[in-house]
Amino acid sequence: MTNTTADERVEVTRNDELGRFDITVNGEAAGFTEFVDMDGLRVFPHTELDDRFSGRGLSSTLVAAALDDTRRADLEVVPVCPLVLHYLEKRELPFTRPTPSILNSLGRTRD
């Protein structure tokens, strides 16, 4: 997904090698959201956006592109990352809550 304005070019690409979606601004890395595919699910464990790019809606652009790809792949969304969860809840989009077995497979536990 590419979004271009007069001042900047924003691009989101899927990086299967690293298991994440990357967002760039004018070719410069701005952030990413990690994903893990398992048994018909796409789990989003973590998202980062460089502070230099905050306040510009880039995290929403990143998550939207990742979710579009997930829908096209016909996978259920499992948000472990609070940012992805907030995005889904705010827009009342469907998702599956992470189970203990999903968290264990990621090496995490519930807090």
**Other Cβ atoms closer than 10 A to 94:** 8
Q: What is the pLDDT, as a whole number, of residue 108?
A: 75
The pTM (predicted TM-score) of the whole model is: 0.90
CATH topology of domain 2-105: Aminopeptidase (3.40.630)
Quote the tokens at residue 44.
């989003």
Tens of pLDDT, residues 18-75: 999 999 999 999 999 999 999 999 999 999 999 999 999 999 999 999 999 999 999 9
Q: What is the pLDDT, as a whole number, of residue 4?
A: 56
* Separation between Cα atoms, residue 54 and residue 44, nearest integer Å: 20
pLDDT confidence band for 111 (50 / 70 / 90): very low
Q: Is the pLDDT of residue 7 over 90?
A: no
Ramachandran angles phi, psi of 36, nearest 5°: -135, 125
